[in-house]
Amino acid sequence: MIRLPDPKPEVLARRAEIVAALQRILPPGPMGDGVISEELRLKPYETDGLSAYRQPPLAVVLPETTEQVAAILRYCHQNGVRVIPRGAGTSLSGGALPLADAVVIGLMRMNRILEVDYDNRLAMVEAGVTNLGITNHVAADGFFYAPDPSSQLACMIGGNVNMNSGGAHCLKYGVTANNLLGLKLVTIEGEILEVGGRHLDAAGYDWLGLLTGSEGMLAVITEVTVRILHSPEGQRAMLAAFKSNEIAGEAVDAIIASGIIPVALEFMDRPAIHACEAFAHAGYPLDAESLLIIEVEGSVAEQDSLLAKLKGICERFDPISVKVAESAEQSLAIWKGRKGAFGAVGRISPDYLCMDGTIPTGQLPFVLRRIGEMSESYGLQVANIFHAGDGNLHPLIMFDANDPKSFHAAEAFGADILKLCVEVGGCLTGEHGVGVEKRDLMGVQFTAPELSLQRAIKGAFDPDWLLNPAKVFPLEDNPAFAARVLPHAA
């Protein structure tokens, strides 16, 4: 159950006037209406990747330039109107969930690639360019943009910056924050600012670092300068199946201790293996308790050498099987099951919650054991996928959305898992963000003064709490809201 703050009655009462004012800023153009306010057309914007929660906004605006974003924000600031920034709406934590009295700023029409500079290895793009769109644009020249969240076909770079998105290859290439050079942004007052640039480590406070992962609460980001990298000569995967989670965990430790940094090191537990195999027929061993997918990069000879070393390490741990891909095709086959994991789980259960905590990697066997016990006591199935190199755990909790009891149990189960992550020294979210989903758990990880401090820093950017105001921080003790909050009808 997630609660949203009361809409401001004075804003709701002025709805027609606000829409008219926004239409003056964004008159209809070749791309269609810039302002959407009809009930039916607001439908697609009432939710995001956390589709259990829905709330139509007051209106949606679709600007095409940074100057238009500035004019919209200036108007909203002067009129006390709340604003929800939105990219592709793929957030799994409800980061783009609207409020009834808020204007959603959709950045999808700002989808131009402004500059690609191979000598300096950077691309400057608008916020509405998709993650994969950047890589696709430079791939023919041998380059790529490294962070690869699994929604990369749809998700937009502006959203990636706001959520500090990760992906399966973070162990080697880092997350979004590690791959940015500069941002153009608009403050709630409508000021257009640039931070960072085309260079590394601009002197002064690290606004670029603070804005990355700020979940749309500090500013609206309109342009992003990313670092692009030349692709390696090639990559290849191997698969190793083990008799227990403990043994797989020991194998991961041994790999790290060997000095090899695989480009990906993915773990799946028994339920995940079975779900993926039934769906993708990737040839995963069904008698295994756990499975590792390990990928390395380099020339063919380098791949051979690294994979032989990794095979030797895995064989020390009494594996059920070890399969090294002999070709790019075999490599794809190994990945096929893992990449289809969400679809695979969806086939078993039409509804599931994809959780996202991080744990110290050594705690994996303990955490999986505890999750197994919780699964029994809640009576809900769970499959676990784990970025083993960086400790990012994705339990997929299966439930029945037609049964409110089942949904609430799934939410409670998810919250218990995240509390467990914090208990063992980890955190509530590794890459999906807090959004509304984990907002009310923030007190598990942070003390009240720590939360007040973070809120005050948001306040330094947005004193009136107009930008994505109901996200990340619990509402109850937030002085920015009236004490009264209404239960939200899920």
Partner 1 sequence: MSGGVQGEVLAPATEADLSAAIAAAAAAGEPLAIEGNGTKRAFLRPVQAARTLTTRGLSGITLYSPSEMIVSAWTGTPLPEIEAALAERGQHLIAEPPSFSALFGAALPPTIGGLVSTNLSGPRRITGGAMRDHVMGIRAAGGTGEVFRSGGRVLKNVTGLDLCKLLAGAHGTLGVITEVTLKVLPGPASSGTVAVRVADLAAGVRVLSAGLGSPFGVSGAAVLPSGTEGRPGPLALLRIEEFSDSVAYRTGRLRADLAPLGEVAVIEDAESRALWAAVREAGPLGAAPDDAIWRVSVRPTAGPKVVAAAGMARALLDWGGGLVWLAGPATPEAHARVVAAAEAAGGSFTLFRAPEPLRAAVAVLPEEPAALAAIGRRVKAVLDPKGILNPGRMRAGL
Q: For the purposes of burial, counting CB atoms within 10 Å of the CB of 489, is it exposed (0-12), middle (13-18) or buried (19 or more)?
A: exposed
User: Using CB under 8 A, which of the segments 7-15, 382-390, 404-412, 475-483 binds partner 1?
Assistant: 382-390
Distance in Å, CB of 132 to partner 1, minimum: 20
Site for partner 1 in 384-403 (CB under 8 A): 387, 389-392
Tell whether residue 415 is a contact of partner 1 (CB under 8 A): no
Of 254 and 401, nearer to partner 1 (C-beta) is 254
Tell whether residue 433 is a contact of partner 1 (CB under 8 A): yes
Query: Exactly one of 94, 128, 319, 430 binds partner 1 (CB under 8 A); which one?
Result: 430
Of 56 and 298, nearer to partner 1 (C-beta) is 298
Closest CA to 397 of 368, 354, 339: 354
Of 305 and 377, nearer to partner 1 (C-beta) is 305
Site for partner 1 in 90-119 (CB under 8 A): 117-119
Amino acid letter for position 138? V
Distance in Å, CB of 129 to partner 1, minimum: 20
Total of residues contacting partner 1 (CB under 8 A): 93
Query: Exactly one of 152, 290, 406, 445 binds partner 1 (CB under 8 A); which one?
Result: 445
Query: Exactly one of 425, 476, 479, 482 binds partner 1 (CB under 8 A); which one?
Result: 425
Distance in Å, CB of 229 to partner 1, minimum: 8
Tell whether residue 137 is a contact of partner 1 (CB under 8 A): no
Site for partner 1 in 258-277 (CB under 8 A): 258-261
CA 240, 244, 245 angle in degrees (round to 5)? 85
Tell whether residue 476 is a contact of partner 1 (CB under 8 A): no
Of 238 and 296, nearer to partner 1 (C-beta) is 296
Query: Exactly one of 102, 359, 409, 410 binds partner 1 (CB under 8 A); which one?
Result: 359
Of 279 and 461, nearer to partner 1 (C-beta) is 461
Distance in Å, CB of 179 to partner 1, minimum: 9
472 within 8 A of 435, measured Cβ to Cβ: yes
Query: Exactly one of 376, 460, 484, 489 binds partner 1 (CB under 8 A); which one?
Result: 460
Of 70 and 104, nearer to partner 1 (C-beta) is 70
Site for partner 1 in 188-217 (CB under 8 A): 189, 191, 193, 195, 197-210, 212-214
Distance in Å, CB of 44 to partner 1, minimum: 26
Query: Exactly one of 31, 40, 140, 257 binds partner 1 (CB under 8 A); which one?
Result: 257
Of 348 and 446, nearer to partner 1 (C-beta) is 446
Long-range contacts made by residues 371-378, C-beta under 8 angstroms, separation at least 24?
Answer: 371/395, 371/417, 371/420, 374/413, 374/416, 374/417, 375/413, 378/409, 378/410, 378/412, 378/413
User: Using CB under 8 A, which of the segments 25-33, 325-333, 404-412, 439-447 binds partner 1?
Assistant: 439-447
Site for partner 1 in 230-249 (CB under 8 A): 230-233
Distance in Å, CB of 392 to partner 1, minimum: 5
Of 323 and 432, nearer to partner 1 (C-beta) is 432
3-state secondary structure the chain: CCEEECCCHHHHHCHHHHHHHHHHHCCCECCECCEECCHHHHHHHCCCCCCCCCCCCCEEECCCCHHHHHHHHHHHHHCCCEEEEECCCCCCCCCCCCCCCEEEEECCCCCCEEEEECCCCEEEEECCCEHHHHHHHHHCCCEECCCCCCCCCCCEHHHHHHHCCCCCCHHHHCCHHHHEEEEEEECCCCCEEEEECCCCCCCCCCHHHHHCCCCCCCCEEEEEEEECEECCCCEEEEEEEECCHHHHHHHHHHHHHCCCCCCEEEEEEHHHHHHHHHHHCCCCCCCCCEEEEEEEECCHHHHHHHHHHHHHHHHCCCCCEEEECCCHHHHHHHHHHHHCHHHHHHHHCCEEEECCEECCHHHHHHHHHHHHHHHHHHCCCEEEEEECCCCEEEEEEEECCCCHHHHHHHHHHHHHHHHHHHHCCCECCCCCCCCCCCHHHHHHHCCHHHHHHHHHHHHHHCCCCCECCCCCCCCCCCCCCCCCEEECCC
Distance in Å, CB of 34 to partner 1, minimum: 25
Tell whether residue 440 is a contact of partner 1 (CB under 8 A): no
Query: Exactly one of 348, 401, 442, 480 binds partner 1 (CB under 8 A); which one?
Result: 442
Tell whether residue 321 is a contact of partner 1 (CB under 8 A): no
Of 34 and 95, nearer to partner 1 (C-beta) is 95
Site for partner 1 in 16-75 (CB under 8 A): none
Of 29 and 360, nearer to partner 1 (C-beta) is 360
First to last CA, the chain: 7
Tell whether residue 82 is a contact of partner 1 (CB under 8 A): no
